[in-house]
Amino acid sequence: MKKIILTAVLSAATLGAFAQGTIDIGNFSKGTFVAPIFSPNPASPGVQQVGNPGTTSYQNGGTPLGTTVYGGVPLQAGYDMVFLYSTSSTVPSQMSVGTTVPFQTAATATARPAGTMVSLGAFVVPGVPGNSTINWCFGAFSTEGGTVTTWAQALAAFASGDPNSQIGSGTVVTGTLLGGGANPAEPTTYAGWTSFSLVTPAPEPSTIALAGLGAAGLLLFRRRK
């Protein structure tokens, strides 16, 4: 009997040690952190804007406040957001896709503002045990009427110069400690993570590489605040 009990205890301990890491994250936590994502700026669709907006408007405000004035509108239906992560890399194109979620629709925008994603809840990070650290960021793209459904397809569409392509990624946050099992970790810092806009393929030769986002370095754009 003692041997059976000891075996059960050891088995439970082993399972706990290898429990998958979990995280509770999103780009909207009312009063704490709000970083809506925007469509391309009509005046310069190939130029990515970054930084939280400087307005407290519920539908497109940022927390903490920034100074960026976005030309586009907060994303809603027809766009998806991807959670990208890695235990080592800080380059989005080298990160794994954890999950893809839609943006809030107009019907639910009163509960969560436009430009924010449907909450991940206690998300299990594939292949990473609890109490490990990861680097992560969010990417977003247009589904082009349902024809683009994955991050890989969105990257390929942008690289091919698809005029309907819209894509972007935010700043990578490093060293976030994961929780385990039913106790997901919530990042204690969002340092460096802000709102951003999507971009369309930019034909200008003066554009610079979208840091880490491109497929084989072919995705080009310019950033400005």
Q: 7-64 pLDDT, tens per residue?
A: 333 333 333 445 888 887 766 655 566 778 899 999 999 999 988 776 655 445 555 5
According to DSSP, residue 144 is labeled T
pLDDT at site 10: 32
Top pLDDT among 32 and 123 is at 123
- Put residue 202 in one of left, alpha, beta given phi > 0 → left and psi -120 to 50 → alpha: beta
Q: What percent of the chain has pLDDT over 90?
A: 30
Locus of tokens 């301990």: 13
Contact (CB, 8 A) for 82 and 97:
yes
Whether residue 135 has pLDDT greater than 50: yes
pLDDT at site 208: 37
Top pLDDT among 168 and 58 is at 168
pLDDT at site 191: 57
Q: What is the average per-residue pLDDT within 123-142? A: 90
pLDDT at site 211: 40
Q: What is the average per-residue pLDDT within 72-90? A: 91
Both tokens of residue 186? 């919530």
**Following CA atoms 22, 24, 26, 29 in sequence, which dihedral angle do they give, to the nearest 10 degrees?**
-170
Q: For the stretch 100-126, what's the b/e string if a residue is b when 16 or more beta carbons lie within 10 angstroms of its beta carbon?
A: bbebbeeeebeebbbbbbbbbebbbbe
